[in-house]
Amino acid sequence: MVSGASEQSGPPARPKLAVYKFSSCDGCQLSLLNLEDELLDLVEAVEIAYFLEARRRVLPPPYDIGLVEGSISTPEEAERIHQIRRDCKFLVAIGACATSGGLQALRNWADVREFTRAVYANPEYIRTLDTASPIAAYTFVDFELRGCPVNAQQLLELLTAVLMGREPKVPRHSVCLECKRRGLPCVLVSNGEPCLGPVTQAGCGALCPGCNRACYGCFGPMEQPNIRSLGRWFSERQERSPRTLKRLMRSYNGYLEPFKQEGDRYEQIEQGQE
Amino acid sequence: MNADDSVRQFLPKASLEALIAALRDQGYTVLGPRERDGVIALREVHAAADLAHGMHDEQAPGHYRLTADDDQLYFNYVLGADGPKRYLFPAQQRVVQLHVEGQRFVMDAASPAPPKLAFLGVRACELAAIAVQDRVFGADDPRTFRCEAELSYCETRRNAFFVAVNCTRPGGTCFCVSMGTGPKAERGYDLALTELRAGFVVEIGSERGREVAAQLPLRLPTEAELELADIKLAQARHSMGRTLQTDGLRTTLARNIEHPRWDQVAKRCLSCGNCTMVCPTCFCSTVVDSSALDGGSVTRTRLWESCFTHQFSYAHPGPVRHSIRGRYRQWLRHKLSTWWDQFGSSGCVGCGRCITWCPVGIDITEEACAIAATPSQSNSPFAEAWEGEGEAEAAGEVPR
């Protein structure tokens, strides 16, 4: 429970919210700013103490709630996260980068120095880690909110729950339940798409199937996913290659188990075929 | 068939419009099969042109495709994933909303009046499924106290008008003949149609149906039309995509708790819950409480839930059914075996939706058949307890 009560006289102070950015695209921070209908209520309920994307003013720590977007990809980030952990009472990793390493964790299978040589004119100025990692790989986080980007309503539910001192209601089941509740046609069954919905955690409200597109797993693995069985169906019935299956696994949450294990397995099969 | 020919009427094809108009005039929201993104979905129709027609559905385990077909036929397809369940028992429904006034919680305005729905093109298996849900939700016994959401079901159900369409071309995953629920609607409808190229043979199933029929340009069918309708239905009975041998199945499944087949199907099952979402008898729900950011109001929402989630069987030490094997086994045995103990009927009506819409094509008839073919008797510590039930079933007694 986060207490907003102040020992000083006058109106009780609001709980302080801090929002941090690590290696990321800012999309999750934007999800918070996109809560247009609720934004006024939100600033009533919490004090925005540190949120560089939204306001210049910075209040000193400690903060009651800290939201961290992005992966840890540089030596500076690997240091900075420890101070943030000390500054925040309740620390939440938000988004695929912060909870799995994100798209940039594709470097974890490659030589990052080779990339910098290929991309930058003066690669010697680039200080980066060999791997991109989730926040929880470096420090304890109180909660992880999945998604690329996070779902704004889930973010609101998280903040409301933390302010009320209750457990956030975040389902761990498949996307299919949300898809079927909405009455959407199944793109896997009726269109032969390689939809990852049956192994992916819900929370997006079946966003992509709602646009007649296959789920690409941006909320990461659901509870106890049976990826092996779904992969077998894609390979035998949809004639998808091991390379396609590897790339399906290795996207926004490719470094998160058990997506990682299955992606690695398809890579081995792919290499065995060559 | 066995219907009394003197009460059968004929509705010319062009007058389907008149049926929709008559229902709308009586204040019904008419819901019928519409094509949506390559799938037949149950949605509101304003005119006959809205209905999917000239289409044929190809259904197989984990496979569904709509293709162009005889343009003169409206109902030459069977079921999509959607059914009347979506409207009688909505996937998401607000149960209660409270707000804070001073030191108290005050309940907000009551739920809106139940909708007045007319289902056009509902199939025999769906009517059978509605009868199953009636027993589950207590719509068949108004004396029983029921909670809010079930009241909503009962009221919507009582208001609903059903225009059944008898199946003349069953789908590839259909097995209603095995379950004794189709392909011809025998009860539970207000009007029933059998489609021919020129029109529909109409049967009247209720007083409400008679009132609507009185407004339609009906004529007496010719003998040839009646004979053709009967032939089409007889053919349908023999062209089921699947069969399920139900004799003794209830007992076999009850006894085979530790059958190796459960391990095999668990390797395939994704535990994604699609089968339960599309099943017309699955009735499980969960309630989710949410609160406003300022703590000034709370809402309780009921959502379709599935026995394939961890949350479903979550008790203090964690999920009780913690393996996919346990969850699939619970679902299949509930449908075909323990449903009898709980509600006095089968929980499966043979619509085949769970087979078509399983992303990896698991077939309930194949799984049940595999266990019935190689029963491993008495390998369960609970097997003894089922012995008596099996005898009761063999004697034709159905405990309630």
CB half-sphere exposure, A52, CA atoms < 13 A: 6
CA pair distance B192, B201, nearest whole angstrom: 8
pLDDT digits (tens, 9 = 90+) for A108-151: 999 999 999 999 999 999 999 999 999 999 999 999 999 999 99
Closest partner CB to B272 (pick from A159, A176, A191): A176
pLDDT at B317: 86
pLDDT digits (tens, 9 = 90+) for B334-371: 999 999 998 899 999 999 999 999 999 999 999 999 99
pLDDT digits (tens, 9 = 90+) for B248-294: 999 999 999 999 999 999 999 999 999 999 999 999 999 999 999 88
Task: Residue window 203-262, chain A: list those with CB within 8 Å of chain B.
Answer: 212, 222-226, 228-230, 232-233, 237
**Interchain contact A189–B (C-beta under 8 A):** yes
Residues linked to residue B271 through DSSP beta bridges, in sequence order: none
Q: How far does CA B213 lie from the centroid of its chain?
A: 26
pLDDT at A256: 96
**Interchain contact B89–A (C-beta under 8 A):** no
**Interchain contact B81–A (C-beta under 8 A):** yes
**Interchain contact A60–B (C-beta under 8 A):** no
Q: Report, as an integer, the average pLDDT of B124-130.
A: 97
Q: At what angle do helices B124-137 and B148-159 cross, to 10 degrees?
A: 140
Q: Spell out the domains of chain A, with CATH numbers in brackets.
A: 2-164 (3.40.50.700), 175-270 (no CATH)
> What are the tokens at B258?
């530790």
Phi-psi map region of B271: left, alpha, beta (phi>0 left; psi -120 to 50 alpha): left
Q: Which residues of A touch B278 (CB under 8 A)?
A: 180
**Interchain contact A194–B (C-beta under 8 A):** no
Predicted confidence band at B143 (pLDDT cuts at 50, 70, 90)? low
Closest partner CB to B359 (pick from A222, A228, A233): A233
CB contact under 8 A, A186 and B92: no
How many CB atoms lie under 10 A from the CB of residue A148?
A: 24
Q: Which residues of A touch B361 (CB under 8 A)?
A: 233, 237
**Interchain contact B65–A (C-beta under 8 A):** yes
pLDDT at B145: 61
Report whether B190 contacts B205 (CB < 8 A).
yes
Over the range A9-20, which residues count as b (16 or more CB within 10 Å of their CB) and which as e? eeeeebbbbbbb
Please state, rounded to an integer, the average pLDDT across all residues of chain A: 94
CB contact under 8 A, A172 and B289: no
- List Cβ neighbours of B158 (8 Å cut-off, separation of 6 or more): B139
**Interchain contact A117–B (C-beta under 8 A):** no
CB contact under 8 A, B38 and A171: no
pLDDT digits (tens, 9 = 90+) for A15-31: 999 999 999 999 999 99
- List Cβ neighbours of B361 (8 Å cut-off, separation of 6 or more): A233, A237, B60, B61, B62, B63, B355
- List Cβ neighbours of B313 (8 Å cut-off, separation of 6 or more): B307, B319, B320, B321, B327
> For chain A, how big is the Rg over CA atoms in Å?
20
Question: Cα angle vertex B36, ends B279, A220, to 5°?
Answer: 65
pLDDT at A9: 54
Report whether B335 contacts B346 (CB < 8 A).
yes
- List Cβ neighbours of B129 (8 Å cut-off, separation of 6 or more): B83, B85, B181, B280, B281, B349, B351
> What are the tokens at B121?
């093109």
Task: Tell me how close the Cα of A26 comes to any Cα of chain B, in angstroms.
Answer: 24
CA pair distance B391, B371, nearest whole angstrom: 19
CB contact under 8 A, A189 and B64: yes
Task: Tell me how close the Cα of A138 comes to any Cα of chain B, in angstroms.
Answer: 28
Q: What is the 3-state secondary structure (H, E, C) of chain B?
A: CCCCHHHCEEEEHHHHHHHHHHHHHCCCEEEEEEEECCEEEEEECCCHHHCCCCEEEEEECCEEEEEECCCCCCCCCCCCCCCCHHHHCCCEEEEEEEEEECCEEEECCCCCCCCCEEEEEECHHHHHHHHHHHHHHCCCCCCCCCCHHHHHHHHHHHHCEEEEECCCCCCCCCCHHHHCCCCCCCCCCCEEEEECCCEEEEEECCHHHHHHHHCCCCECCCHHHHHHHHHHHHHHHCCCCCCCCCCCHHHHHHHCCCCCHHHHHHHHCCCCCHHHHHCCCCCCEEEEEEECCCCCEEEEEEEECCCCCCHHHEECCEECCCCHHHHHHHHHHHHHHHHHHHHCCCCCCCCCHHHHCCCCCCCHHHHHHHHHHCCCCCCCCCHHHHHHHHHHHHCCCCCC
Say whether pLDDT at B42 is over 80: yes
- List Cβ neighbours of B196 (8 Å cut-off, separation of 6 or more): B225, B228, B229, B232
CB contact under 8 A, A225 and B324: no
> What are the tokens at B175?
């097995």
Task: Tell me how close the Cα of B352 comes to any Cα of chain A, in angstroms.
Answer: 14
CB half-sphere exposure, B196, CA atoms < 13 A: 20
Report whether B199 contacts B171 (CB < 8 A).
no
CB contact under 8 A, B64 and A172: no
Question: How far, CA to CA in Å, does B222 sit from each of B2, B201, B285?
Answer: 17, 10, 49
Predicted ipTM > 0.95: no
Instruction: Tell me which H or E stretch contains A88.
Output: strand A88-94
pLDDT digits (tens, 9 = 90+) for A199-255: 999 999 999 999 999 999 999 999 999 999 999 999 999 999 999 999 999 999 999
pLDDT at B2: 41
CB contact under 8 A, A159 and B293: yes
CB half-sphere exposure, B395, CA atoms < 13 A: 8
CB contact under 8 A, A180 and B64: no
Closest partner CB to B291 (pick from A164, A189, A212): A164
Closest partner CB to A160 (pick from B271, B291, B311): B291
- List Cβ neighbours of A23 (8 Å cut-off, separation of 6 or more): A70, A71, A72, A73, A74, A77, A97, A102, A104, A132
> What are the tokens at B26?
């009586």
**Interchain contact B318–A (C-beta under 8 A):** no
pLDDT at B387: 47
Say whether pLDDT at B139 is over 90: no
Residue length of chain B = 400
SS3 at position A235: helix
**Could you give the strand order of the β-sheet that contains A63-69, starting from the edge strand earlier in sequence?**
A47-51, A16-21, A63-69, A88-94, A143-145
Closest partner CB to A226 (pick from B66, B91, B270): B270
pLDDT at B149: 65
ω before B183 within 30° of 0 (cis)?
yes
DSSP3 helix / strand / coil % (chain A, rounded to 5): 45, 15, 45
Q: At what angle do helices A242-249 and A259-273 cross, to 10 degrees?
A: 160
Closest partner CB to B294 (pick from A41, A177, A233): A41
pLDDT at B379: 52
CA-based nearest residue in chain A for residue B273: A177
**Interchain contact A110–B (C-beta under 8 A):** no
**Interchain contact A124–B (C-beta under 8 A):** no
> For chain B, how big is the Rg over CA atoms in Å?
23
Say whether pLDDT at B111 is over 90: no
**Interchain contact A173–B (C-beta under 8 A):** yes
pLDDT at B395: 41
pLDDT digits (tens, 9 = 90+) for B299-327: 999 999 999 999 999 998 889 999 999 99
Positive or negative: CA dihedral A267, A105, A147, A168: positive
Residue B256, Cβ density class (10 Å: 0-12 exposed, 13-18 middle, ≥19 buried): buried
**Interchain contact A39–B (C-beta under 8 A):** no
